[in-house]
Amino acid sequence: MKYCRLELDGRAEWGLVEERAGKEWITALLASPWRMEPTTVLGVPVGEARLLAPVAPTKIVCVGRNYRDHAKELGNEVPKEPLLFLKPPSSLLGAGGVVRMPRVAERVDYEGELAVVVGRRIHRLKADEDVQPYLHGVTVANDVTARDLQKKDGQWTRAKGFDGFCPVGPVVSTEVTAAAIDAGLVVETRQNGELRQHGSTADFIFSLRELLVYITAAITLEPGDLLLTGTPAGVGPVAAGDEVEVTVAGVGSLRNRFAAEEE
């Protein structure tokens, strides 16, 4: 199943995305998809919907430097333990949304990532436990980062947390399993159509299970929470007017345009 979130009559609604007669349609749902109580309200063609981020997390937990080649490209050591940080839910943006680059930042980078959506509360996951029952699905994210502020501030809250710095979508797919993530999903980023990042989740330094064990020893994850799993090598700066497209094979392509901060 593929789920999205869309704006209908000024309200955020959940939707089920299905192909019918060669066209993708959204069926609006009355309940959040992890409750699995869908009720049809009406159908909307995907191309005509205003898509929102297809998640409603209480928190967005992120992992830094989880691909060896990306850790090295910024001159950092390969971490011995997962490097965690948070992005605020206010940074979420849907597919097609415009990322506003704050004037205070001199360099804003894209970071294409696989994101995992939690389906069941996870508290102190055991090292030998199967993670699959705890997952709702996966989606595509761009961990937008003000690179100069990340260095200047000494911690990453502002650099990673501006409004709109977490584009996610277009859909959550429940068809991708934890085993498929371990086996390797291709994550690619294109800037104005040029390939900038190409990685595989098989090259994670810490596997999804290791990440969830480490995270939930400290932080209980709730249904709907989002985990950004890190970015492969090839991060780089964007300019106003650029379009960045992050693709996770079998899940979807997340496209966003970047623009200068509004007056």
Q: Which residues bind Mg ion (CB under 5 A)?
A: 111, 143, 231
CB 110 within 8 A of CB 236: yes
Q: How far is the CB of 29 from Mg ion (least distance, A)?
A: 30
Q: How far is the CB of 124 from Mg ion (least distance, A)?
A: 25
Q: Which is nearer to Mg ion, 13 or 143 (CB)?
A: 143
Q: How far is the CB of 84 from Mg ion (least distance, A)?
A: 11
Q: Which is nearer to Mg ion, 201 or 231 (CB)?
A: 231
Query: What is the identity of the amino acid at 175?
Result: E
Q: Which is nearer to Mg ion, 13 or 111 (CB)?
A: 111
CB 51 within 8 A of CB 96: yes
Q: How far apart are CA 146 and CA 106, in angstroms?
A: 7
Q: Which residues contact 222 (CB under 8 A, 6 or more apart)?
A: 57, 58, 59, 118, 121
Q: How far apart are CA 71 and CA 78, in angstroms?
A: 6
CB 145 within 8 A of CB 111: yes
Q: How far is the CB of 61 from Mg ion (least distance, A)?
A: 11
Q: How far apart are CA 210 and CA 229, in angstroms?
A: 11
Q: How far is the CB of 140 from Mg ion (least distance, A)?
A: 13
Q: Which is nearer to Mg ion, 66 or 174 (CB)?
A: 66
Q: How far is the CB of 158 from Mg ion (least distance, A)?
A: 15
3-state secondary structure 63-123: EECCEHHHHHHCCCCCCCCCEEEEECHHHEECCCCEEEECCCCCCEEECEEEEEEECCCEC
Q: Which is nearer to Mg ion, 1 or 89 (CB)?
A: 89
Q: How far is the CB of 142 from Mg ion (least distance, A)?
A: 9
Q: Residue of minimal CB distance from Mg ion?
A: 143
Q: How far apart are CA 134 and CA 122, in angstroms?
A: 7
Q: Which is nearer to Mg ion, 111 or 245 (CB)?
A: 111
Q: How far apart are CA 205 and CA 189, in angstroms?
A: 20
Q: Which is nearer to Mg ion, 2 or 87 (CB)?
A: 87
Longest dimension (CA), the chain: 53
